[in-house]
Amino acid sequence: VLALVSARSCPKPIKGEKKKRWPVPLLGELCDSSGVWISTVGRMEIVHVYTKLRSEFGRQCLLSDRPAELLVDVPPDPSLALQFIQKTPRDQALQACRDMSEHQVNTERFESDSCGINHVEGGWPKDVNPQEVEQTIRFRKKVEKDESYINSILQLGSVMEHCIRQNNAVDIYQVYFEEEEEVEEAPDAPSAKTINVFRDPNEVKRTVTGLSWHPDGGRKLAAAYSCLEFQKTSKDMSLDSYIWDIENPNRPEMTLKPASSLICLDYNPKDPHTLVGGCYNGQIAYWDTRRGSQPVEVSSVEQSHRDPVYKIIWLQSKTGTDTFSASTDGQVLWWDVRRLSEPTERLVLDLSREGNLDRALGAISLEFESTMPTKFMVGTEQGVVVSCNRKAKTPAEKIVCTYDSHHGPVYALQRNPFFPKNFLTVGDWTARIWSEDIKESSIMWTRYQMSYLTDACWSPVRPSVFFTVKMDGVLDVWDILFKQNEPTLSLKVCDEALYSLRVQDNGRLVACGSQQGGATLLEISSGLSTLQKNEKSLLAAMFERETKREKILEARQRELRLKERSRSEQSREEDVGREDGEDSPDQLISRAQKDFYSVVETELRRRRDREDQENRVRTH
Amino acid sequence: MAEVEETLKRIQSQKGVQGIIIVNSEGIPIKTTLDNSSTVQYAGLIHQLVMKARSTVRDIDPQNDLTFLRVRSKKNEIMIAPDKDYFLIVIQNPSD
């Protein structure tokens, strides 16, 4: 018989039941006559008493015997033996040894922090207070009287004297041949080594889509993280971007918290504390690093871009607060960071000069050179580079000319810092160098590479060196004075695609950002980052030569076209050459058909003749 | 007692010697010819260095022991003679 009783009340004997009374502790444990304990936790006031005979708590198992039953009988089938071949003897290897398994373990990244230790005078015995001068003097005097002290000092003294005299006898660091000039070292082979890798601290890794060096000495690197793949952003993807101190790769120095992930950002070259960034949702945000991680001001959503802002650059102005941004919605907007509620100017990249947004080309890169403040260039998704003049009177005149550059989006666009008339574009599988005057084609270009090029920039110290990054994780350094058909140095930085690249102003440090959020910092060998003799003049001569070549080709093309036009005006007959571009598709098809049938017929005829000949030979 | 003084005076009179410190095994400077703050700094830092050097030598070969330690720097040379209970530190500038 079991009974659950309240913890507070004493168990009262229930009528008609004889059971042993056990002491009831506070927790309300109870035991019945057959020795089963039930315990209740907590103090319950409500009482419900169950009574049931123990023997009724479920039936016991009743087992019974029964005879053996045959379930399955499979007799041997000798015919199956024919499918097997007897093979004796058979080699079987056996090794009597302990089973071992191999397991690799990699410890977690150990974060170390440097800090100094303050050595305070210590080691004093408990009874001596180091602050008390008298006590310390007394202690010292006591030690000096010690026998072992005297002995050891005498011994150490003699050893020490030997070394001192040794030092005085010969100066082992004496410099011989001080007046000789230093031998010119042979230029070391081009190389680059990775210094640090700054990894995205978040769980979900985002691509490093934008990088910007701190303008003052380049001790800090700002990196913009976002996920540009369509619909690949997950809810728990962090929106933060970071500023890294290049000495400390463990932790970002500062976090920037925009409302939507940043695609690009730029440090203000005049004021190293301010940054401006373009967001995935089209807004522009302005930060002051002294004021914390939140943007000081964000542009209003209605007036901003309708597509992600792919590039934003600070402009040269008296106030130092102007910037402009470009996005694939076809607009280039100018902003004053003091008032981001609406752009100061707007340009629609419509080549028909009507300002029609539907026909506008999506902008994906922007170029601005402070030595030429009125001109700027935009690289578009359609592979066209548009050169614009900011100071034009009417919006229609803003677009000056276009260069048909690549088969795909122009991902990078930059003027050569030493020769501003020439600029570098990167898109599809090539990198091309252009001269402003030649609009038909680039003056120099690389071979089609094995993977897509995603970003490029000129070296700020050497006019003939530029860097490119590719989707297979390779960083290429091109020195066009040294080798033009392939990169001077090709480095595999990481296994995933590289999306962004920035060279620091001293030309030695290069940062590239990868798809998994790792920004790698590399140092380029001195050969590639110091100006060589006559480099500028050689490069100028090269650019001139290539430009002249293109000009000549362009002139020839023009001549040919004029001749062609005049010829087709004279005669209506089409030439048997391949120069007709005026044929209609039907005429082409009928001509192709005619050619085909004539070829087939001649072949058949030839075969028949050969057969006849052979028959004649055989019958003879 | 007098021999100790004589030894130290002799060492001090050698060319280029800038200072002498005697430190015991706990890092307490017993005798010094430098000012207090430098003494405390040298005593603390060098004590740790000697401990490390000694343990290094003994780790490589337990039968071996550290007999002398010289730290040559651009400006001077610090020489340390370790003993069981004390060490003698001398700072010398040999080119003077």
Contact A435, A443 (CB under 8 A): yes
For the beta carbon of residue A275, count every other beta carbon within 10 angstroms. Answer: 27
Average pLDDT over residues A194-218: 87
A170-176: Cβ within 8 A, 24+ apart: A171/B94, A171/B95, A173/B72
Looking at residue A593, its amino acid is Q
Average pLDDT over residues A597-610: 91
The CATH number of domain B16-92 is 3.30.450.30: yes
Distance CA A501, CA A524 (A): 14
In this complex, do B1 and A150 lie within 8 Å of one another by their Cβ atoms?
A: yes
Q: Which of A17, A41, A56 is the last residue of a domain?
A: A56
For the beta carbon of residue A396, count every other beta carbon within 10 angstroms. Answer: 12
Element (H, E) at B38: helix B36-60
A155 in contact with chain B, both atoms CB, cutoff 8 A: yes
Q: In the sheet where A297-298 sits, what is the strand order? A: A262-267, A274-279, A284-288, A297-298
For A482-521, give one letter per residue: b (16+ CB within 10 A) or e: eeeeebbbebebbebbbbbbbbbeebbbbbbbbbebbbbb
Strand partners, A510: A503, A522
What rounded mean pLDDT belongs to chain A?
Answer: 82
- Helix (H/G/I), strand (E/B), else coil: A276: strand
Taking the C-alpha atoms of A549, A550, A556 and A562 in order, what is their torsion angle to the nearest 10 degrees? -160
Please tell me which residue of chain B has the smallest CA distance to A146: B1
Nearest to A468 by CA among A460, A457, A479: A457
A582 in contact with chain B, both atoms CB, cutoff 8 A: no
Indicate whether A198 belongs to any domain.
Answer: yes
pLDDT on residue A41:
52
Query: In whole angstroms, how far apart are CA A277 and each of A202, A230, B1, B17?
Result: 20, 21, 76, 61
B4, B17, B24 member nearest A164 (Cβ): B17
Above pLDDT 70, what percent of chain A? 87
Nearest to B26 by CA among A116, A126, A160, A153: A126
Is residue A6 scored above 50 in pLDDT?
A: no
pLDDT tens readout for residues A48-80: 888 888 777 777 778 888 899 999 999 888 888
CA distance A193 to chain B (A): 30
In this complex, do B1 and A167 lie within 8 Å of one another by their Cβ atoms?
A: no
Element (H, E) at A397: helix A395-398
- Residue by residue, what is the 3-state secondary structure of A258-274? CCCCEEEEEECCCCCCE
Residues 6+ apart with CB under 8 A from A262: A209, A210, A224, A225, A226, A241, A256, A277, A278, A279, A280, A285
> Which of A26-30, A436-440, B42-46 shows the lowest per-residue confidence on average (mean pLDDT)?
A26-30
Q: Which of A36, A56, A76 is the last residue of a domain?
A: A56
pLDDT level of residue B94 (50, 70, 90 thresholds): confident
Is residue A10 scored above 80 in pLDDT?
A: no
pLDDT on residue B47:
86
Indicate whether A97 belongs to any domain.
Answer: no
Looking at residue A339, its amino acid is R
The DSSP secondary-structure symbol of A577 reads S
Q: Which domain holds residue A471?
A: 192-528
In this complex, do A152 and B72 lie within 8 Å of one another by their Cβ atoms?
A: no
A150, A161, A164 member nearest B4 (Cβ): A150
Q: In degrees rounded to 5, what are phi and psi of residue A540? A: -60, -40
In this complex, do B95 and A171 lie within 8 Å of one another by their Cβ atoms?
A: yes
Indicate whether A64 belongs to any domain.
Answer: no
Distance of CA A28 to the CA centre of its chain: 65
Indicate whether A361 belongs to any domain.
Answer: yes
Assign residue A151 a region (left: φ > 0; alpha: ψ between -120 and 50; beta: otherwise): alpha
Q: Which residues of A touch B84 (CB under 8 A)?
A: 152
pLDDT level of residue B53 (50, 70, 90 thresholds): very high
Q: ipTM value of the model?
A: 0.84
pLDDT level of residue A572 (50, 70, 90 thresholds): low
In this complex, do B88 and A150 lie within 8 Å of one another by their Cβ atoms?
A: no
Q: In the sheet where A192-198 sits, what is the strand order? A: A192-198, A519-524, A509-514, A498-503
Strand partners, A404: A384
Q: Which residues of A touch B41 (CB under 8 A)?
A: 119
pLDDT tens readout for residues A104-161: 888 777 777 777 666 566 667 777 777 778 888 888 888 888 888 888 888 888 889 8
- Greatest CA span in chain B, whole angstroms? 39
A153, A165, A168 member nearest B7 (Cβ): A153
Instruction: Give the CATH number of the domain where residue A322 resides.
Output: 2.130.10.10
Distance CA B46, CA A117 (A): 14
Tell which A residues from 68 to 127 touch B, by Cβ distance under 8 Å.
Answer: 119, 121-124
pLDDT on residue B20:
93
Element (H, E) at A548: helix A535-570
Distance CA A546, CA A442 (A): 9
pLDDT on residue A200:
86
Of the residues B38, B45, B71, B86, the best mutation for testing chain A's interface (the one with the most A CB atoms within 10 Å of its CB) is B86
CA geometry: angle A152, A153, A156, nearest 5 deg = 85
**Which token pair is A607?**
């075969």
How many folded domains does chain A comprise?
2
A153 in contact with chain B, both atoms CB, cutoff 8 A: yes
Distance CA A520, CA A499 (A): 12
Distance CA A618, CA A616 (A): 5
In this complex, do B44 and A157 lie within 8 Å of one another by their Cβ atoms?
A: no
pLDDT level of residue A579 (50, 70, 90 thresholds): very low
pLDDT on residue B4:
86
Residues 6+ apart with CB under 8 A from A4: A28, A30, A38, A40, A47, A48, A49, A50
Indicate whether A223 belongs to any domain.
Answer: yes
pLDDT tens readout for residues B20-34: 999 888 888 888 999
Contact A338, A350 (CB under 8 A): no
> Within a 13 Å sphere around the CA of A419, how many CA atoms are in the beta-carbon half?
24
The DSSP secondary-structure symbol of A14 reads P
Is residue A1 scored above 50 in pLDDT?
A: no
- Greatest CA span in chain A, whole angstroms? 140
- Helix (H/G/I), strand (E/B), else coil: A413: strand
Indicate whether A449 belongs to any domain.
Answer: yes
| Domain range list for chain B | 16-92
Q: Tell me the DSSP string of A593-615.
A: HHHHHHHHHHHHHHHHHHHHHHH
Above pLDDT 90, what percent of chain A? 8
pLDDT on residue A511:
92
Q: Which of A25, A40, A56 is the last residue of a domain?
A: A56
pLDDT on residue A467:
92
